[in-house]
Amino acid sequence: MNKKVKSRLEVTAIYLFLLVMGIVILYPLLWTVGLSLNPGTSLFSSRMIPETISFRHYEWLFFDPRSNYLQWYKNTLIVASVTSVCSTFLVALTAYAFSRYRFVGRTYGLYGFLLLQMFPVLMAMVALYILLNTVNLLDTLLGLILIYVGTSIPMNAFLVKGYFDTIPRELDESAKLDGAGHFRIFFTIMLPLAKPILAVVALFNFMSPFMDFILPRIILRSPENYTLALGLFNFVNDQFANNFTRFAAGAILIAIPIATVFLFLQRYLISGLTTGATKG
């Protein structure tokens, strides 16, 4: 087999793989869109796009007095935005300290970050519940935000620390010779250069509250405090007679803020995902 034929086979295999992955990704998305336009309530349909297209479910979400969808949307946006901003800032500070300074316990701190990444948050659910109940933050968005921010630091700090390690230390030394202090170096040199990896951290932390169901289910009790994942669950239980089409309509709208943030940060994302050292 000559190189030309081998190259064509490799290209064909790549395109076939991309085609299969595209079908796997797009098929459920298109089915959900079609389901949201179905005027009925059933999950089962013989057609991906219904014969009669209706926007009644979207109208119900936005205009029906019985719907708390807009409140859930607002709660989720608040939790996602605050979590994203606070997590990114705290992660950047932590990673900068571990990357640029040598202090007692630094090595053990890095090992601690690695260790904490191995255990899921679910293992600490009981302890987190008791902690929030003790400080009267149970059934509050603030309590949910604090947990999201705290649990995001270990993994993300280790990731951003690796990126900071790739930034030449000569930049810090030059800034110090010009009279810059630690915080000025951090804000004027390190943060601008670390925009790609910080964009990745910000996007992932923004997406988490939209996707997470278990943590809000344990912490939140009042319907007015629900996030979208928890609120939409009510559309497929007995209270709403298993209304899967209404659930599909609400789920489709979740993509809007995530897509908006992704488009805003996309120029940083590729380099942020592919760059970074693994030095400790």
pLDDT digits (tens, 9 = 90+) for 130-169: 989 999 999 999 999 999 998 888 888 888 888 888 888 8
SS3 103: coil
Q: What value, to the nearest 5°, has the Cα angle with vertex 151 and ends 145 and 156? A: 115
Burial class (CB in 10 A: 0-12, 13-18, 19+), 257: middle
pLDDT band of residue 272 (cuts 50, 70, 90) is: low
Note the pTM of the prediction, 2 decimals: 0.83
Residues 6+ apart with CB under 8 A from 260: none
pLDDT for the residue numbered 41 = 66
pLDDT band of residue 277 (cuts 50, 70, 90) is: very low
Q: pLDDT by residue (tens digit) across 78-130?
A: 999 999 999 999 999 999 988 888 888 888 888 887 787 777 777 888 888 89
pLDDT band of residue 182 (cuts 50, 70, 90) is: confident
Q: pLDDT by residue (tens digit) across 210-252?
A: 988 888 988 998 888 999 988 888 777 755 456 788 888 888 8
d(CA 231, CA 193): 39
Nearest by Cα to 69 from 205, 191, 232, 180? 232
Torsion of CA 75, 79, 84, 88, to 10 degrees: 160
